């Protein structure tokens, strides 16, 4: 099938499919005039990659996951290790975002939001200057 058909079946933009080929994640065949000829297996891999990327896996992780997927003698523990590392990173990001939300929520709550110039949001954003130094 041509790239247009692959785009439709994999539900990915052509630009992403070209990128996956450029980085070696897929290797579609070429017909005599040089056009890509995607096989069903290529479209299946594209679907796999699209789902993995939607879950936030890096290209490097996708490369390893794809190789493990194709390795019928793989140990599921290898796959789980990659997924667990990624889950741990997501959890760290969520915790950091939660801390940011808590801080900003507190600052917004403590700001009067009126005509007075005092603003705890700006005061919190300004770096503390050690005493004896000018701004």
pLDDT at residue 135 in the model: 57
The arithmetic mean of pLDDT across residues 64-89, rounded, is 97
pLDDT at residue 134 in the model: 64
Task: Output the pTM of the full model.
Answer: 0.75
Mean pLDDT over each residue of the chain, to the nearest integer:
91
Q: What is the CATH number of domain 1-72?
A: 1.10.1660.10
- What is the DSSP secondary-structure string of 5-25? HHHHHHT--HHHHHHHHHTTS
Give 20: exposed, middle or buried? Use CB within 10 Å, 0-12, 13-18, 19+.
buried
pLDDT at residue 72 in the model: 94
Cα–Cα distance for residue pair 94/113, rounded to 1 Å: 29
Q: Read off the pLDDT of residues 28-67 as tens digits, 9 standing for 90 and up.
A: 888 888 888 888 888 899 999 999 999 999 999 999 999 9
Res 133 pLDDT > 70: no
By percentage, how much of the chain surpasses pLDDT 70? 97
Cα–Cα distance for residue pair 32/30, rounded to 1 Å: 7
Each domain of the chain, given as residue ranges in start order, spans 1-72, 75-127
6: Cβ contacts below 8 Å, ≥ 6 apart: 17, 28, 36, 38, 42, 43, 46
């Amino acid at each position: 099938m041509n790239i247009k058909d692959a785009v439709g079946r994999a539900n990915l933009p052509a630009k992403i499919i070209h990128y996956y080929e450029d980085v070696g994640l897929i290797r579609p065949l070429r017909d005599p005039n040089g056009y890509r000829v995607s096989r069903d297996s290529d479209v299946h891999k594209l679907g796999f990659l699209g789902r993995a990327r939607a879950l936030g896996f890096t290209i490097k992780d996708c490369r390893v996951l794809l190789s493990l997927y194709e390795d019928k003698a793989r140990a599921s523990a290898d796959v789980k290790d990659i997924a667990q590392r990624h889950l741990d990173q997501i959890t760290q990001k969520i915790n950091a975002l939660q801390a940011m939300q808590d801080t900003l929520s507190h600052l917004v709550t403590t700001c009067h939001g009126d005509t007075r110039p005092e603003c705890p949001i700006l005061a919190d954003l300004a770096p503390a200057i050690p005493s004896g130094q000018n701004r």
